Amino acid sequence: MESLQDERRTLTGWGRTAPTTARVVHSPDVDALAKAVRESGERGVIARGLGRSYGDPSQNAGGLVLDMTALHRIHDVDVSDATVDVDAGVSIDDLVRAVIPHGLWIPVMPGTRQVTVGGAIAADVHGKNHHSEGSFGNHVLSMDVLGADGEIRTASPDGEHAELFWAVVGGMGLVGIVLRATIRLKRVESAYFLVDTEQVHNLDELMARLHSNDEQYTYSVAWFDSVIGGDKLGRGTLTRGWSATYDDLPPKLRKDPFHFAAPQLATVPPVFPNGMLNNLTARMFNEVWWRKSPTRFGSVQNITQFFNPLDIAAEWNRLYGPAGFLQYQFMVPFGQEDVFRRMMRTISASGHVSALNVLKRFGAGNDGVLSFPTPGWTLAVDLPVRPGLNKLCNELDDMVLEAGGRLYLAKESRTSAATLHAGYPRMSEWRALRAKYDPNGVFHSDLSRRLEL
């Protein structure tokens, strides 16, 4: 058994708020990790990947955090079966680089490639294709889960340990730690995407266009302006597409159809003060973003352009300054569009500005007991931390619950336990499963204590 690397570290989520200090251990040895879980102590243990959850789900103040990035082997890419057997600490970025040369593609791409497979399962991440292909957990064929007793169980969605499987998917690491997974992949003819881009002039037009013909596209997402008010509120860009076939590519790209274009142009330095994003700078950004994306159909875009434009700049969260920011992501069911519009007007009138506003449509949910997606609208807004922000978010919380919606645990950083629980009708079922598989409360995080999970 290899020894653990062991150090005390102060951790935050991607929003850079609420730092806490924990003992962090790091090892590629599964036996060493199991021993650490069994001996974790009264503050318990939580797994951590690349730290891209926005709040505090992979922090454990005064306790133990397992840095899972040492488990980074891709064990097998089965081209004939279109599956991959991979360690939980492998990043989506490394996974894409490994499978795309074989004409294979991951089934769900989140907004950044800098997340681990284990984190993608624990948060049951979604992408631009939830309306057509569901969330990440839908495509996991089996996984090895390290339990609170230090034992490893192989769980599958409809076989042995199925209830454990669906408690772990979306369970934020609080039922067990994913060590390894087999994932179903997609066959593609290129590493490019055929994209339709449409400018829309207000929120009503945007939602109507999304709702009317979204099913024609595999991937769909909208950005819109929440700073501009009046009749132009929700002016934005609708971007939708499919995987490009070989014949869709121009001659130059056909020479290397599986080329993975993933430039990283800069690392944002830690020099930006609080308040850089304000009403003026947000209006300027929104105007540039609007003008750079005119309506056009059938353009060919690479992976970074279409899925992960923010990955071009490393540490982009530093732009919000040392006070950090929160990403407020919620969903409301179809039929609750009036509440959604009221929420947008509330944000626009609040004085709190968000330049990154991402709107998607969710399709059918899966069997994950705490999985976030369910049919409806989901919006993520990035809001700099400053006085009055929690008051605004509390108002938004009330409207989310009024509409029968919920907040996303992977983005959550400040709501109340009562609000969070009210949005998840299967919460009591999940807590019973957690008690069954972790009767002594070994798995804990700052998030689990704050939200009484």
Give the E-state strand segments of 244-356 in sequence order: 266-267, 296-302, 313-314, 325-332
Q: What is the pLDDT of residues 243-302, one digit of tens each?
A: 999 999 999 999 999 999 777 767 888 877 777 767 767 667 666 666 777 889 999 999
What stretches of 235-302 show up as alpha helix (H) in DSSP? 251-254, 279-291
Tell me which residue of 105, 298, 289, 296 sits closest to 195, measured CA to CA: 298
Encoding tokens for residue 257?
Answer: 């159809």
Q: What is the pLDDT of residues 208-250, one digit of tens each?
A: 988 888 889 999 999 888 777 788 888 889 999 999 999 999 9
Residue ranges matching CATH 3.30.70.2520 in the chain: 192-420
Encoding tokens for residue 255?
Answer: 């020479």
- Identify the CATH class of 70-188: alpha beta
pLDDT tens for the chain, 453 residues long, are: 556 688 999 999 999 999 999 999 999 999 999 999 999 999 999 999 999 999 999 999 999 999 999 999 999 999 999 999 999 999 999 999 999 999 999 999 999 999 999 999 999 999 999 999 999 999 999 999 999 999 999 999 998 899 999 999 999 999 999 999 999 999 999 999 999 999 999 999 999 988 888 889 999 999 888 777 788 888 889 999 999 999 999 999 999 999 997 777 678 888 777 777 677 676 676 666 667 778 899 999 999 999 998 888 888 888 888 999 999 999 999 999 999 999 999 998 998 988 788 999 999 999 999 999 999 999 999 999 999 999 999 999 999 999 999 999 999 999 999 999 999 999 999 999 999 999 999 999 999 999 999
In single-letter form, the type of residue at position 422 comes to: A
Cα→Cα distances 438→45, 148, 213, 406, 433, Å: 12, 5, 45, 25, 8
Spatial CB neighbours of 5, under 8 Å, sequence gap ≥ 6? 25, 26, 27
What pLDDT is attached to residue 265? Answer: 67
Burial class (CB in 10 A: 0-12, 13-18, 19+), 334: exposed
Residue ranges matching CATH 3.30.465.10 in the chain: 70-188
Bridge-partner residues for 314, per DSSP? 267
State the Cα–Cα distance between residues 115 and 52, nearest whole angstrom. 6
In angstroms and rounded to an integer, the radius of gyration of the C-alpha atoms of the chain is 21
CATH match of 192-420 with 3.30.70.2520: yes
Q: What is the pLDDT of residues 36-70, one digit of tens each?
A: 999 999 999 999 999 999 999 999 999 999 999 99
The pTM of this model reads 0.96
